[in-house]
């Protein structure tokens, strides 16, 4: 009861942050907001939220002063007459995005973050990390993992770091490995390209297109764990920062 009252007072007392103060958010809610942001916003606003001139979503720099309530409204209704689209989110989901945007600034300002060296990172990527055994960058490497040519335009540094430290934490739907076991016990793991009632089409780890009849399979389904190894013990903090710096600079094919 007292807590509720306190929250109400808070909500009325401050425009900024009031909406966030009315709910309680678990870190998981903020992560959900991050996922929604990555799938619905980064293609225009960039992974750091600063790709559109004069707007910096992660640092709370907008063209006008907005309260959290305003932001939720903008996220849900869009801005008519501009490319900013309406989104079909309920209020809670829209609020988790705002909570995520607020958390971005705190993330950036992490004390003790090491500066990485992209050139060293590139060498670690090809050498010690053996990243090319699964990933492709600008036409070189394997297709068994996602192509990283544009990864710097899609992910923030902290996300790239997390992808290496804890690959199971978040596997994007399109990146999930699919595993099929034939009736004779042969196992095929790959990326699911397509499936219908009778067949599954996979791109296997050797980049071969596999067309499998479901009647020949004993088991089939997504693999919950990432096939990517964790680099927690393989790279030290400096090496990790170097690889993150290299990845952050991958923003598509270099134009001649
Ligand atoms: C199709 C591209 C596109 C997508 C997708 C998109 N936005 Fe926008 N957004 C824009 C543009 C362009 C503007 C600037 C509109 C204007 O001219 O006022 C904008 C404006 C905004 C503003 C107001 C900023 C200000 O300073 O006035 C916020 C907040 C915002 N977007 C958040 C989001 C969030 C959060 C998402 C994902 C749920 C998202 N946008 C998805 C293109 C997009
Ligand atoms: C054994 C194969 C394998 C190796 C080796 C590997 N990865 Fe991965 N990686 C994957 C797969 C599969 C995924 C997609 C599933 C996931 O997100 O974990 C992935 C995902 C990623 C992602 C997230 C991509 C996204 O779209 O969010 C990054 C970043 C990444 N890897 C970087 C690296 C780096 C850097 C190295 C080397 C230090 C490396 N990987 C080594 C298989 C591998």
- Assess whether the C-beta atom of 85 lies below 6 angstroms from ligand 1: yes
Q: Give residue 108 CA to ligand 1 midpoint distance, Å.
A: 21
Q: Give residue 53 CA to ligand 2 midpoint distance, Å.
A: 31
Task: State in Å, rounded, how far the first CA of the chain is from the last one.
Answer: 65
Domain 118-170+228-248 has CATH 1.10.40.30: no
Per domain, the residue ranges of the chain are: 2-108, 118-170+228-248, 177-222
Which CATH fold would you assign to the domain 177-222? SH3 type barrels. (2.30.30)
- Assess whether the C-beta atom of 253 lies below 6 angstroms from ligand 1: no
CATH number of 2-108: 1.10.760.10
Name the band, by pLDDT with cuts 50, 70 and 90, for residue 14.
very low
* C-alpha dist (Å) from residue 117 to 50, 161, 197, 241: 23, 14, 49, 7
Same fold, 2-108 and 177-222: no
Higher pLDDT among residues 106 and 256, named by residue: 106
Cβ atoms of residues 71 and 78 within 8 Å: no
Strands 209-213 and 199-204: antiparallel
CA distance 195 to 145: 20
Cβ atoms of residues 57 and 45 within 8 Å: yes
Residue nearest to atom 2 of ligand 1 (CA): 44
Ligand 2, closest atom to CA 177? 12
The tens digit of pLDDT for each residue in 188-238 reads 888 888 888 888 888 887 778 889 999 999 998 888 778 889 998 999 999
């Amino acid at each position: 009861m007292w807590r509720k009252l306190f929250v109400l007072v808070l909500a009325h007392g401050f425009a900024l942050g009031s909406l966030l103060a009315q709910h309680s958010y678990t870190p998981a809610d903020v992560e959900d907001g991050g996922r929604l942001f990555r799938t619905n916003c980064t293609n225009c606003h960039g992974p750091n939220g600063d790709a559109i001139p004069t707007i910096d979503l992660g640092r709370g720099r907008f063209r006008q002063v907005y309260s959290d309530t305003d932001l939720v409204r903008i996220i849900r209704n869009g801005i008519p007459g501009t490319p900013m689209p309406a989104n079909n989110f309920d209020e809670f989901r829209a609020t988790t995005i705002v909570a995520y945007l607020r958390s971005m600034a705190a993330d950036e300002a992490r004390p003790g973050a090491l500066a990485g060296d992209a050139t060293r990172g590139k060498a670690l990527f090809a050498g010690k990390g053996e990243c090319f055994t699964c990933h492709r960058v600008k036409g070189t490497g394997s297709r068994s993992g996602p192509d990283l040519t544009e990864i710097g335009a899609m992910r923030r540094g902290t996300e790239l770091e997390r992808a290496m430290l804890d690959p199971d934490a978040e596997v994007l739907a399109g990146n999930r490995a699919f595993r099929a076991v034939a009736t004779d016990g042969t196992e095929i793991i790959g990326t699911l390209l397509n499936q219908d009632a009778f067949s599954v089409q996979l791109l296997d780890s050797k980049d071969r297109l596999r067309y499998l009849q479901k009647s020949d399979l004993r088991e089939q389904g997504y693999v919950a764990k990432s096939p990517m190894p964790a680099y927690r013990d393989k790279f030290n903090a400096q090496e990790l920062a170097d690889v993150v710096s290299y990845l952050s600079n991958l923003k598509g094919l270099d134009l001649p």
